[in-house]
Chains A and B, each alone.
Chain A
Amino acid sequence: MSAVLTDTSLVLGRYLRQTMRSKFQIYFGVLMPLLYLLFFGPLLTDLPLSPKGDSWQVLVPGLLLQLGLFGASFAGFALILDKGTGVVERMRVTPVSRLALLLGRVLRDAVLFVFQAILLVLAALLMGLRAPLAGVLIGFAFVAVLTVALASLSYLLAMKVSTPQGFGPVVNAVSMPAILLSGLMLPMALAPTWLDVLSHFMPFRYLVDAVRSAYVGEYANTTMLYGVLVAVAFTGLAVYAGTREFRRAGA
């Protein structure tokens, strides 16, 4: 077990240093949600989106998870580049733990997206967001867990495809419905019944609802419970599947 931890911190260190060299990568990802915050957020301020809390407490949790969802889904692009340079195979030939090969990468992604989430929340505070600190911290935790889950799946897909052209369309086809059906922009409570029912089959919805609940200071309710359960189960499955792919000698 300690070998897994040491190996993970080695792989994490390698990819964190790589990220630190690219300031562009660090800040660019926060641009899209920031634009939503600036140009979309103000449209919502007077709308009755939720019985509890104001529009910022509804929008910001959605934007945080959008950041994680979108960013992590595309994490696999970097792995395709690493496959091209032979880095992936070179690391797979070393005795390093297969779990660490995946975890080192996804934890780097989690660090990166939580950092971007912090920037986004700071900007949101300037725009008028008011939320309890504990709720905000819970929000960051959900961003981290969502990133670990989705980045694992993204790397799994990237291990299977050979070109970026085969990767991008699949990720888009999956992430767009996921973003829309999880009610990231506007809560699904506003939806007609059929859409609301449909969105309950989208696991991310439970995460969004949980973070919205946290942002209005409600931590001990079924919404939070479902959010945590879905997040943990989804992450467990994703990490298991991803590690299996790194272990499986790929064709």
Chain B
Amino acid sequence: MTANEAPPAIVSTTGLSRTFTTKAGPVEAVRGIDLTVRRGEILGFLGPNGAGKTTTLRMLTTLLAPTGGTATVAGCDLLADPTGVRQKIGYVAQSGGVDPHIPVREELVTQGRLYRLTKPQAVARAEELAHDLELTPFLDRNCSALSGGQRRRLDLAMGLTHRPEVLFLDEPTTGLDPAGRSDLWTLIRRLRETYGTTVVLTTHYLDEADALSDRLVVIDRGRVVADDTPHALKVRHAGSPDASLQDTFLAITGRAAPAPKDNTPVAV
């Protein structure tokens, strides 16, 4: 694909950085990331623990102010117009974001209202999302009554309430069983196919990065150390398109792939 044919950029960053001040001195969590995400792309952030994946995601979603650099997200300047960014993106954190003691329907409707839908629109949207994500039978149960996979689908529904142009997912399948993970992968692919949603996700799972992402950005020590399709990365760094992503990862970072944080319960 030549640059002319490439879809327009929906996220672009220049020198995006974040330094934390700690008692032990400044910690440079993210050191100048230059990144372009094209519309309709599924982009995976891969990297060892503490590499700066989540910090980058939290900056792009307006949760954390960068200490350096600039970014444009969905046509809005991250620093000058965070509210504009918020209106156009969805974000699903690792911990989700629903109150276990509140009924599913109520959380979905309130979320719609927070995104400035009218009451009738929010009610209809809650029904629609529940239908799409197979949550209809649970609408009137408390969020705590859902299984891990159902809970994750609810988290996704919350992030999709306002039909965002870009969806940011922080380790979307951590803690799910294999069936739950493959369900979620199908949902994420379908999102892109049906609505053209751009998806940016972080993951600890190499198979997930391999199966889901059109392009991988490997982050190590706060810097982008590789940025290409999984296929190209394998050829370039591990010498063969059939190489495992594990070997590729090792070749790029000089370290073994991060151990997946298994058995982390998602439901409380």
- A6-65 interface (Cβ within 8 A of B): 7, 10, 13-14, 17-18, 21
Shortest Cβ distance from A96 into B: residue: B114
Task: Give which listed residue, A18, A84, A251, contacts B102 with CB less than 8 A.
Answer: A18
Whether B229 sits at the interface, judged by CB under 8 Å, is no
| Residues of A with C-beta under 8 A to B87 | 95
Shortest distance between the CB of B127 and any CB in chain A (Å): 19
Main SS class of interface, A: helix
Pick the interface stretch among B5-13, B41-49, B59-67, B171-179: B59-67
| Residues of A with C-beta under 8 A to B268 | 85
CB pair A90 B63 closer than 8 Å: no
CB pair B86 A94 closer than 8 Å: yes
Q: A17 vs B105: C-alpha distance in the bound complex, in angstroms?
A: 13
- Interface residue tally for chain A (C-beta within 8 Å): 24
Query: What string of 1s and 0s marks CB contacts (under 8 Å) between A87-99 and chain B?
Result: 1011111111000
CB pair B113 A86 closer than 8 Å: no
CB pair A251 B64 closer than 8 Å: yes
* A85-B100 CB under 8 A given contacts A17-B106, A90-B158, A93-B89: yes
CB pair A89 B64 closer than 8 Å: no
- B35-55 interface (Cβ within 8 A of A): none
CB pair B114 A84 closer than 8 Å: no
| Residues of B with C-beta under 8 A to A13 | 110
Whether B96 sits at the interface, judged by CB under 8 Å, is yes
- B157-216 interface (Cβ within 8 A of A): 158
| Residues of A with C-beta under 8 A to B133 | none
CB pair B99 A251 closer than 8 Å: no
Whether A249 sits at the interface, judged by CB under 8 Å, is yes
CB pair B110 A10 closer than 8 Å: yes
Choose among A17, A89, A90, A93 the residue with the greatest number of B CB atoms under 10 Å from its CB: A93
CB pair A7 B95 closer than 8 Å: no
| Residues of B with C-beta under 8 A to A21 | 101
Query: What string of 1s and 0s marks CB contacts (under 8 Å) between B79-123 and chain A?
Result: 000010011011101111111111000100011011110000000
- B253-268 interface (Cβ within 8 A of A): 268
- A83-138 interface (Cβ within 8 A of B): 84-87, 89-96
CB pair B115 A95 closer than 8 Å: yes
Shortest distance between the CB of B146 and any CB in chain A (Å): 13
Q: A18 vs B101: C-alpha distance in the bound complex, in angstroms?
A: 8
* A86-B110 CB under 8 A given contacts A93-B61, A95-B83, A95-B87: no
| Residues of B with C-beta under 8 A to A251 | 20, 64
CB pair B111 A94 closer than 8 Å: yes
Task: Give which listed residue, A7, A84, A87, contacts B98 with CB less than 8 A.
Answer: A87
CB pair A249 B65 closer than 8 Å: yes
Q: A89 vs B62: C-alpha distance in the bound complex, in angstroms?
A: 10
Task: Give which listed residue, A18, A82, A85, A93, contacts B86 with CB less than 8 A.
Answer: A93
CB pair A95 B110 closer than 8 Å: no
| Residues of B with C-beta under 8 A to A89 | 63, 91, 93, 95, 97
Q: A86 vs B96: C-alpha distance in the bound complex, in angstroms?
A: 6
CB pair B93 A86 closer than 8 Å: yes
Shortest distance between the CB of A235 and any CB in chain B (Å): 25
Shortest distance between the CB of A45 and any CB in chain B (Å): 44
CB pair A85 B96 closer than 8 Å: yes
Shortest distance between the CB of A109 and any CB in chain B (Å): 17
Shortest Cβ distance from A13 into B: residue: B110
Q: A131 vs B160: C-alpha distance in the bound complex, in angstroms?
A: 55
Q: A248 vs B67: C-alpha distance in the bound complex, in angstroms?
A: 13
Shortest distance between the CB of B140 and any CB in chain A (Å): 14
Shortest Cβ distance from A94 into B: residue: B114
| Residues of A with C-beta under 8 A to B89 | 93
| Residues of A with C-beta under 8 A to B116 | 95
Shortest Cβ distance from A251 into B: residue: B20
A85-B97, A85-B98 known, 11 other contacts, Cβ within 8 Å: A14-B110, A17-B106, A86-B94, A87-B97, A90-B111, A90-B158, A93-B90, A93-B91, A95-B116, A249-B58, A249-B63
Selected A-B contacts with CB under 8 Å, 9 pairs: A10-B114, A21-B101, A86-B97, A89-B93, A89-B95, A90-B96, A90-B98, A92-B63, A93-B63
Chain B residues at the A interface, C-beta cutoff of 8 Å:
20, 58-59, 61-65, 83, 86-87, 89-91, 93-102, 106, 110-111, 113-116, 158, 268
Chain A residues at the B interface, C-beta cutoff of 8 Å:
7, 10, 13-14, 17-18, 21, 82, 84-87, 89-96, 248-251
Complex A-B, nearest 5 residue pairs according to Cβ-Cβ distance, in ascending order: A90-B97, A86-B95, A86-B97, A94-B114, A249-B65
